[in-house]
Structure 1
């Protein structure tokens, strides 16, 4: 009996020691979730160099993650499954309230614009020409590609049938192939698709600009790790290799972010969409 108690005592000591030897966050690997505006394979190729850079600067592995579609990504963020997340402006407004993600970085000078694309050969010249058509969107809560576009269509009184597909990439392909008359997107993902060989689509309409995507951290992430991460991201543009990493993910140089940076989005009063956590 004494031997059994002795073994239990030392197993408890080993457990506590191994726990304390882990990261300050209680985790040895950090997960960086990226909103799936493009295919998972393309995102992994684009973002892996940044993961390697952050791994080096944080002294612990940072693992790329995404989701099969934007609604699934939203569920994973609201359930706190990502330690770090790259999310659209509306997502940040939602998820800074619940579960409490905190923005640490954003593009310094860029503004995000919603766009509507049509086929290059289309004779449509204004949004009014989309009356009665099917328009594709990446997801209901995609800020610029869906929310801004739909708000403009409704303001103009244009009736249409919305169809939601899996990503921005799918939007552009649906328009290119003639499965829909038009689609909502953003300039960054359209530029990326065109670099990958997309042809035959053009921009019909462009919205005003808003504060762009946030890189935000889970409220459970240790402040020390959040500070290291922020410095690493903001300093990316200081070297040639860092600028290459930014170019690979189609981002301009980053700056430190504040919660109030997205007050322009909050000012739109977009309370008609609510993303629920899994029960």
Structure 2
């Protein structure tokens, strides 16, 4: 009987020690961002970019950013220029892309499809938000967004139907102000860029256009009088700037390092110049998911169109 009791006590002690060890291991894993599994060991990080310029050019321009982040994070960081945003989201969902540069609608889509986490956002002209603008010829009788809603059959130029400021936010505003069917109310023309949208108004090919504020600047070198000949007649609500997101299962300590490294760029003139060259960022601020709720509201109106 004594032997049996001794064996039971021994098994009980072994179970207690094992359970304690398992609990401590899980605690350590959770502290490192794990979910009951061993935390991922990050040996390399890949950043995904959507081209704002020629792919070869952007790849060359971000080399100093690669080098800076490699030094700050302690692991090699490489840039990959994606063909399109769908590829970026899929890359973040599957773990092939760790860090993604996303525009506002792009982030909302990536959050929904891949549960990414936004870390920081751009500062431009001293602000972390921007507006879309409605423009018309200076000698036009169109002087407000109300005038656009009151007159059917106008030709509307914009860069692309997937553009946040070029189309989606302006389209949402026009709908809110009473336009029931944009496709039949206006003659829409996608011209491939904000600069081309301004040019369409300047050259009389469109009655009005929608762009970011102030896209006329992009034409001033070749058309010094663009601001005399093209006027701004209205704006949309504020839109959060584009930012940097990370894939959801990246370890929490690495996410914190990435965020800290990007915020520290504010004090590094050379690297900040790279951000200005690639995406016209003049500074970097912290970002939160809640800031993009206004984008989600507009996204809901055009979800089917965006996912085609």
CA contact (8 A) 2:195 2:216 kept: no
Change (3 A) 1:243 1:155: same
Structure 2: how far apart are the matches of 1:203 and 1:174? Answer: 14
**In 2: Cα distance, 1:157 partner to 1:203 partner:** 21
**Structure 2: stretches of 5+ with no match in the other structure:** 1-39, 180-184
2:87 pairs, out of 47, 69, 76, with 76
Shift of 1:198: 5.4
Structure 1 position 116 matched with structure 2 position 134: yes
**Structure 1 residues 267 and 273, CA gap change in structure 2 (3 angstroms):** closer
Deviations 1:53-110 (A, max 9, x none): 334434423215154xxxxx23213322643222222221221011222101013642
Residue in 2 that maps onto 1:257: 287
Change in 2 beyond 3 A, CA 1:211/1:138: same
User: Partner residue of 2:113?
Assistant: 98
1:145 aligns with 2:166: yes
Aligned-pair distance for 1:170? 3.5
TM-score, normalization by structure 1: 0.71
Identify, as 1 or 2, the structure richer in helix: 2
CA apart distance, 1:240:
3.1
Deviations 1:28-75 (A, max 9, x none): 461321364x665775676555445334434423215154xxxxx232
- Contact between 1:137 and 1:183, CA under 8 Å: does it hold in 2? yes
Seen in structure 2, the aligned counterparts of structure 1 residues 33 and 155 have a Cα distance that, compared at 3 Å, is same
2:300 aligns with one of 250, 270, 278? 270
Cα distance, 1:183 vs structure 2: 2.1
Structure 1 match to 2:243 = 214
Cα deviation for residue 161 of structure 1 reads 2.2
Local SS of the residue matching 1:219: coil
| Deviation sequence 1:168-204 (CA, Å, 0-9, x none) | 343334334433332221126x266246645524433
Cα drift, residue 224 of structure 1: 4.4
TM-score by length of 2: 0.65
Find the aligned partners of 1:143 and 1:95 in 2 and give their Cα distance. Answer: 15
**Compared with structure 1, are the counterparts of its residues 178 and 191 closer, same or farther at alpha carbon in structure 2 (3 Å cutoff)?**
closer
Structure of greater Rg? 2
* 5+ long unaligned stretches in structure 1: 1-22, 68-72
Residue pairs, 1:1-279, within 5 angstroms: 24-25=41-42, 28=44, 30-34=46-50, 36=52, 49-58=64-73, 59-67=75-83, 73-80=84-91, 82-107=97-122, 109-120=127-138, 122-127=140-145, 128-129=147-148, 131-157=152-178, 159-187=185-213, 190=215, 193-194=218-219, 197=222, 199=224, 200=226, 201-219=230-248, 221-248=250-277, 249-268=279-298, 270-274=300-304, 275-276=306-307
- CA distance in 2 between counterparts of 1:49 and 1:171 reads 33
CA separation of 1:124/1:63 partners in 2, compared to 1, >3 Å: closer, same or farther? same
Matched-pair contact (CA < 8 Å) for 2:118–2:246 = yes
